[in-house]
Amino acid sequence: MSPNKYSVMLTEYDHSVLTKNSMISMLCKKQLGSQKKRDDEIELSMTLAELEDLIGHVAAESNHARSKRQAEDLGAICDYLESLAFNAKRNSK
């Protein structure tokens, strides 16, 4: 039985923030590579474990960002991803 896949919708801007970060794009190639364009958003498909892995890398990069703007962008994306993971866990019970 395969693990459940969750749909993660990102704006094009948020997706570009993640893919332009060399560490995130390198370590989360599988998560970011599952992209499908949906209107003006990018849909990613991943398991809960993959989502949690992405969250960890985004959080780490946010904490070590070189600029305030990058830290804020990554922090906002991390908050959003954490809310998705929380809801996925809650709904799976």
pLDDT tens digits, residue range 25-53?
Answer: 999 999 998 899 988 899 999 999 999 99
How far is residue 87's CA from residue 82's CA, in Å, rounded to a whole number?
9
pTM across the whole model? 0.91
Is residue 46 a contact partner of residue 8, using CB atoms and an 8 Å limit? Answer: yes
How far is residue 19's CA from residue 34's CA, in Å, rounded to a whole number?
12
How far is residue 24's CA from residue 70's CA, in Å, rounded to a whole number?
13
Is residue 32 a contact partner of residue 19, using CB atoms and an 8 Å limit? Answer: yes
Instruction: Domain ranges for the chain, please list them.
Output: 6-91
Is 2 strand, coil or helix? coil
Q: What percent of the chain has pLDDT over 90?
A: 83
